[in-house]
Amino acid sequence: MSETSSVILAGVGGQGILLASNILSRAALLAGHDVKTNEVHGMAQRGGSVVAEIRYGEKVHSPLIEPFAACALGSLEQIEALRYAHVLAPGALAVVSRMRLVPTTVSSGAAKYPDDIGERLARAFPNLRHIDAAAAAEKAGNPRANNLVVLGALSMGLDFPEALWEKAIAECVKAKFVDMNVVAFSLGRRLAS
């Protein structure tokens, strides 16, 4: 029986984690895998830390990923990547957007956003792609397409052909947004190659 692959996506509620999770699970499905995902709804969504877990393989039981078991991590925000770093297998691919979203705990003075975030990411993730996803999203025509850029970069470490990803995107977003999302996705691929 083939191993189950696990991917974790992290970010802040409202950043589009659910769409990225939808596209990734659709791609796995198109590739002929059994798929399970776990997503966060409800209270935690309101600007809180949010995570989606996607698992695929011949037969998947648990929708939850065990520590150090994910084969890839994509994060739409920098400190959120660190928060879930213990889920990633040692040395596995981490794609982290350079996005810095300051939590209210920092603004209120109760906590501090790490000054050395770049060094921390490099230490925690030996296989890191620290990318300017926001600039790429802007270039694709939508500053909110940060999620597709990160997914594109992440796709370089996942074993699905590019055409299959494009099919998955087309099945998950409204027709008029397909082109923009495909552009953002391919810019992400370029950033990681």
**Binding pattern for the stretch 145-164 against another protein, x by CB under 8 A and - elsewhere:** --------------------
Residue 112 forms beta bridges with which residues?
A: none
Q: Of the candidates 2, 32, 46, 193, which one interacts with another protein according to CB under 8 A?
A: 46
CA–centroid distance for 88 within its chain: 12
Q: Which residue in this structure is represented by tokens 């590019």?
A: 162
Q: In terms of DSSP bridges, do strands 5-12 and 49-57 run parallel, antiparallel, or are they unpaired?
A: antiparallel
Report residue 72 as tokens: 């890839």
Q: How far is the CB of 126 from another protein (least distance, A)?
A: 12
Amino acid at 6: S
Query: In the complex with another protein, which residue's Cβ is closer, 33 or 188?
Result: 33
Report yes or no: 113 and 106 within 8 Å, Cβ to Cβ: yes
Query: In the complex with another protein, which residue's Cβ is closer, 59 or 163?
Result: 59
Give the phi and the psi of residue 76 in degrees, each rounded to 5. -90, 0
Which positions from 58 through 87 interact with another protein, judged by CB under 8 A?
Answer: 60-64, 66-68, 79-80, 82-83, 85-86
Which positions from 88 through 127 interact with another protein, judged by CB under 8 A?
Answer: 101-114, 120-121, 123-124
Q: How far is the CB of 23 from another protein (least distance, A)?
A: 12
103 secondary structure, DSSP code:
-
Tell me how far CA of residue 61 lies from CA of 24, 28, 123, in angstroms: 18, 15, 32
Query: In the complex with another protein, which residue's Cβ is closer, 44 or 190?
Result: 44
**Residue of 174, 180, 171 whose CA lies nearest to 142:** 180
Q: How far is the CB of 136 from another protein (least distance, A)?
A: 16
User: Among the candidate windows 54-62, 147-155, 159-167, 181-189, which touches another protein by CB under 8 A?
Assistant: 54-62
Using CB under 8 A as the binding rule, whether residue 141 contacts another protein is answered as: no
Query: In the complex with another protein, which residue's Cβ is closer, 14 or 190?
Result: 14
Report yes or no: 14 and 80 within 8 Å, Cβ to Cβ: no
**Residue of 34, 88, 98, 96 whose CA lies nearest to 65:** 88
Using CB under 8 A as the binding rule, whether residue 42 contacts another protein is answered as: yes
Binding positions for another protein, rule: CB under 8 A: 12-13, 25-26, 29, 34-49, 60-64, 66-68, 79-80, 82-83, 85-86, 101-114, 120-121, 123-124, 143
